[in-house]
Amino acid sequence: MQLEKTPIEGLIILKPTIFKDDRGYFYESYNKNRLQELGIALDFVQDNQSFSQKGVIRGLHYQKPPFAQAKLIRVIKGSILDVAVDIRKDSPTYGQYFAITLSEENHLQFLIHEGFAHGFSVLENDTIVQYKCSRFYHKEAEGTILFDDPSLAIPWNVDDPIVAEKDLNGQLFSTFISPFTL
């Protein structure tokens, strides 16, 4: 597995080593020891999986401290545009986002540390997303920033987005008071 840094500290792209032959392919999608060798010491306690159709947007979600979560995201089937927004108030990249396409073809994984709002848009029908979380989900700690907030100007790359009611009612970034620090 190889680690690739992004322009925003706390966001990392992981490229697994893929072994291909005439039968197909094999790779380790998660190896705690290998991540520790790369300097990533996280304990994941919960796996989540979603199934979505093209055009769905989920997010921008975060968990408030002390229930803040780091996430390791990958796509099992289909493809997504995965987005993380820096919501750490003392960060030099506060309010900036990073987006990456994750797909069953590229096998990339996106590691998002605590202090980021996370969301994704679905680029293909029947897409399956799987992600690990470093803390258990707590409904009372959940927060949502409006996915189409004009001040963030995230290009979700979908026409006529399909969005859940809670995401349509997300908070404007300009009124967001961050509970996160560096």
61 is catalytic: yes
Residue 112 contacts residue 71 (beta carbons within 8 Å): yes
User: Buried b vs exposed e over 153-172: b needs ≥16 C-beta within 10 Å?
Assistant: ebebebeeeebeeebeebee
Q: Identify the active-site residue in 118, 131, 137, 138.
A: 131
Separation CA 98–CA 6 (nearest Å): 8
Q: Give burial (CB, 10 Å; 0-12/13-18/19+) of 3.
A: middle
Q: Identify the active-site residue in 30, 61, 97, 118.
A: 61
DSSP 7-38: SSTTEEEEE---EEETTEEE--S--HHHHHHT
Positions marked active-site: 61, 131
